[in-house]
Structure 1
Amino acid sequence: MARSFADDNAIPNGWRTRYPGSAIWIIIAIFRGFLEASFYSIYYIPSSLRQSPTWTYRQACMTRLLERVFHIITEIGFTQSLSLEPDKVGDRWVTIDPASASAYSSDFASETVKPEMVGGTWYPNLPSKQSLLEEQGLVVLSFHSGSLLWLTGRPEDSGPTATLLNNSLGNNTRSLWLQYRLGGGSNPTPYPGAMQDAVTAYIYLIKNMGISPSRIVLAGDSTGSTIAVALLRYLASIREVKNHELAELPPPKACLLFSPSVEYCFEGDPEAVSTNRNIKSDYVEARMMAWGARAIAPPETVRLDDPYISPALHPFATPVPIFVQAGGAEVLADSVRGFSNAMSSVPGNKVEYLEVPDVPHDVYVVGTILGWSKEQKDIHEAAARFVLQ
């Protein structure tokens, strides 16, 4: 039976998560990793022993390596703290003040989590309002992955993906990758913090940059898709809210979801994840997914089956066309397909589903790293065709 509330014990704890234990364990993990790498470099030579017999030697080894990296991160409980300083991003970096309190009405209002200043990175560069008006190109508002524990949308973790998506969508496409607040680090911010940040960024694009919503494409991969779908639902819910500054505006042009996290009742249940049919062919692990579910949905704050956390269980009507992609060998394949089917069943919804056979989680981002560069390019091009049709 799927979980209704996240498990507090999912947060890594113990001597390995605190210095000097974490440093000692990293040294042990490096030595252990060397032994494992040596073993699998031989073990995977026969294709029949790989995670899938259709995978290349590189794909098998690199997927295993990424799985071990995430395993170590979970063991030491590493999370990322955010900065609003531009650092190496330079003038592509922007900080965005919250909108008026009324913009976060109803579902995203909270007594404990309030909207705050957020940052974001523009790709390929920060445009002027005049250039945006003259170019009339698409603008992507993108939400990165990372289980609400890591990543920032800055070039070091999102630059290649941002460039590939921009190029796929054509000339004059710009994108803003939001550095939304995380559920870990020095300032852990659970639901609805990241969703509030999505509203902040969306209003910034419309009000500050003068971009019509009909030119905005929402995009998210993995956990970022949770935020993108939540923004879609929110925009649908406030259509009837009197005097809401977004109520009378046209909807976004499209929403692109890649390996989306759309059913946290499943992701927050380590037993269900560990027995999933694709657990041996994916690089995610049960403990990491349960930790991510706890980060976004503390049990005292929100249920895992909340409509904004598990939209696969709560389909809704939206005028925004939705592109959904999953990997046939990823743990989330069944929940993503279920979400797509549920949303397609709502009258008036337009949903296109693409399942790439025999690939693991989030090839949209890590395809080149793991050895699925062609599949990664195909995914971007399929998403672009959906938007431009």
Structure 2
Amino acid sequence: MIFPLRVGRIQNIPTHKALELGKGVDGLYVDGVPELVTGELSKWAEFAGVEAIRIPAYWIHESGSQLVMGEKARDDEKVIYFCHGGAYVSLSSHPSSPTSETPRSIIAHTQSLCRSFAVEYRLTALGENPFPAQLLDALAGYSYLVNTVGFRPENIILVGDSAGANLALALTRYLISNSQAVKDLPSPPGGMVLLSPWCDLTGSHAVPGSSYYENISTDLISHVEIELASHIFAGPHGLEFLKNEYISPAYKDSGSRVGLFKDFPPAFISAGGVEILLDSIMTLRDRMVADMGADKVEALVTEDAFHAFMLATSFEPQRTQLLKAIANWVERL
């Protein structure tokens, strides 16, 4: 889901600027990890004027759970690391946000999951927090799960919708690409659940006859929203930078981009049959299958479903069918 107006106007949305606690809300601050930032990421951050900072983060526990916030992980315990959507310009990781229904619902349908963790990554705005601020924040949260709470990386399942799925892909790419270059950099996660992933910010799939145009009357997001958010996210890097594999792994260029997903963990991909991003999501699926093998990529296209329909709690039975498919996939990991 892209903007708050699509799910109803939200007042006083929590942001990275403050930890918002309250009844039934478990949260804490997570320190930035500049020591884990290297190579291109370090250069991009310096150019954009962003640094690793301390950010709020929140836990969601299974209903009725007796878990204490941040309780040490059991050896075999799986956990969701959730990245919320909102085109990098809106919404929140706070348990009161509509986006939190996604990890909460997955936990409710999956026996082996009892908690979810999410950082309140920085939202971008004109002149503020362009790429890679959000990746720096996601890296800090992942390090906290592994090095502080003690989760084994193979037991972490990255879950993201829309821009959150984009961030999950970028974080995994960084962990894989720099495994030998950074001391104490955690290993990549055990799996990824990508819900309506926003995987091409360049607009390369916007061609006549594509889902980008054919589904404009059936989806909940618009071209204007996507294009504006893309421009803001690029910031000082410029629009050509959006072709970067960290940002647009489904960029439809003339090259084959073979090996783009080498060593990636198993992935579950969900898409709506009438969303405008459908074609780019299918490009992502095909590239992942080509690099990882069909046995490591499961894709479910739900007919008559719109972008990030998981957020629409009344969209049944499609929503429950998707949740059951995700639960079945998680249990088979």
TM norm structure 1: 0.72
Q: CA deviation at 1:104?
A: 1.2
1:170 aligns with 2:111: yes
User: Over the residues paired in the alignment, what is the CA RMSD in angstroms?
Assistant: 3.2
Q: Unpaired runs of 5+ in structure 2?
A: 252-256
Equivalent in the alignment of 1:294: 231
Q: Could you report, residue by residue, the CA deviation over 1:22-64 in whole angstroms, capped at 9, with x for unpaired residues?
A: xxxxxxxxxxxxxxxxxxxxxxxxxxxxxxxxxxxxxxxxx9x
For the pair shown, which has the larger CA radius of gyration, 1 or 2?
Answer: 1
Q: CA separation in 2, counterparts of 1:334 and 1:270?
A: 10
1:306 aligns with 2:244: yes
Judged with a 3 Å threshold, the aligned counterparts in structure 2 of structure 1 residues 237 and 94 are, in CA distance, closer, same or farther, namely: same
Judged with a 3 Å threshold, the aligned counterparts in structure 2 of structure 1 residues 79 and 204 are, in CA distance, closer, same or farther, namely: closer
TM norm structure 2: 0.83
- Percent of pairs identical after alignment? 25
Q: CA separation in 2, counterparts of 1:128 and 1:348?
A: 38
Judged with a 3 Å threshold, the aligned counterparts in structure 2 of structure 1 residues 108 and 90 are, in CA distance, closer, same or farther, namely: farther
Amino acid at match of 1:322: A
Question: Retained in 2: the 8 A contact 1:115–1:193?
Answer: yes
1:199 aligns with 2:199: no
> Secondary structure, in 3 states, of the residue corresponding to 2:108?
helix
Q: CA deviation at 1:169?
A: 2.3
Question: Retained in 2: the 8 A contact 1:317–1:348?
Answer: no
Q: CA separation in 1, counterparts of 2:267 and 2:200?
A: 17
Q: Could you report, residue by residue, the CA deviation over 1:261-309 in whole angstroms, capped at 9, with x for unpaired residues?
A: 0000118979999961100100111111112112221253561111111
1:118 aligns with 2:118: no
1:320 aligns with 2:265: yes
Give the paired residue count.
Answer: 312
Equivalent in the alignment of 2:171: 231
Judged with a 3 Å threshold, the aligned counterparts in structure 2 of structure 1 residues 223 and 209 are, in CA distance, closer, same or farther, namely: same
1:139 aligns with 2:90: no
Instruction: Compare the two structures and name the one with the higher helix fraction.
Output: 1
Equivalent in the alignment of 2:287: 342
Equivalent in the alignment of 2:200: 263
Q: CA separation in 1, counterparts of 2:207 and 2:224?
A: 6
1:105 aligns with 2:38: yes
Judged with a 3 Å threshold, the aligned counterparts in structure 2 of structure 1 residues 274 and 316 are, in CA distance, closer, same or farther, namely: closer
Question: Retained in 2: the 8 A contact 1:215–1:252?
Answer: yes
Question: Retained in 2: the 8 A contact 1:132–1:211?
Answer: yes
Q: CA separation in 1, counterparts of 2:331 and 2:96?
A: 28
Equivalent in the alignment of 1:17: none
Question: Retained in 2: the 8 A contact 1:79–1:149?
Answer: no
> Secondary structure, in 3 states, of the residue corresponding to 2:105?
helix
Question: Retained in 2: the 8 A contact 1:81–1:184?
Answer: no
1:245 aligns with 2:178: no
